[in-house]
Amino acid sequence: MSRFVYQGKKINEISFPLGGIGTGCIGLTGNGRLVDWEIFNRPNKNSVNGFSHFAIKAESNGKVLDARALNSDLHPPYIGSHHSLDNFGFGPRRECMAGMPHFKDIVFRGEFPFANLSFEGIDFPGEVEMNAFNPFIPLNDIDSGIPAAFFEIVVTNTTNEIIDYTIAGTIGNPLPANNLNTIEKLDEITLLYLSSDAYEPDEVGYGNLSIATDAEDVSWQQYWFRGSWFDNLEVYWRFFLPLWQSTRLVDTANHPTPVSSP
């Protein structure tokens, strides 16, 4: 096996940095989660940004065959894992999507500035890979400093059925209230633009964040449901797939190209 390939417990400590030179970065974990949001001009290890994640849905003849967050299992021990004062008890934080349907295993290949993740371990109708990379271009310091992380999700239909696949991308708005989430169109790009009116452009805390796709068929949701406890996550997942099927998939999970923002 290549020394750049990680499986099993070897993925546990990976936080693959994604971001341009001098722009801060976010970490892509060995199990596919987005952590270490160091985009505010200071260290910010062990941080998350809302429920930011990618998910996939497979449909055939108008019925959902399966839907999963593009994560793999978190490995024990869970006591103290991702512990913070805003969590309830010990164990994984809800923001890491640990309780939602996901893939069991993953193969992580890291050859900086590229990371390749192959999702495995369940009977999903297709093969799913994620390629994540930085905008590093040799001898091109300008483009190498683009403040962005890039993701390419590749799905191969391994069945004899005609299957429609939907990729969902969700990103949290980490800016102070009042949050403003708007949809913009730039040529062939659909952009969910996250901003705030709490600061003026010349203030230190001013900033913005976006998630964009070049997909042709795009739907979006600018804000998640605002409720108590786990309502926002539950409502999001039930919107992503029909009610009865989402209930069945969640119940068996123990072992959106939409874009949205919590």
Tracing tokens 């969910």 back to the chain, one arrives at: 192
SS3 at position 148: coil
pLDDT confidence of residue 68: 95
Whole-number pLDDT of residue 249: 39
> What is the structure's pLDDT at 178?
87
pLDDT per residue over 94-138, tens digit each? Answer: 888 988 999 999 999 999 999 999 999 989 999 999 999 999 999
pLDDT value of position 89: 61
In this prediction, residue 247 carries a pLDDT of 40
Please list, residue by residue across 103-130, b when 16 or more beta carbons sit within 10 angstroms of its beta carbon and e when fewer do: beebbbbbeebebbbbbeebebbbebbb
H or E element that contains 66: strand 63-69
Q: 16: domain range?
A: 5-260
Low-confidence ranges of the chain (pLDDT < 50): 83, 85, 243-244, 246-257
Write down the pLDDT at residue 91. Answer: 73
Q: Residue 88 is encoded by which pair of tokens?
A: 């309830």
Evaluated on CA atoms 114, 155, 107, 213, the torsion sign reads positive
Q: Which amino acid is at 174?
A: P
Total domains in the chain come to 1
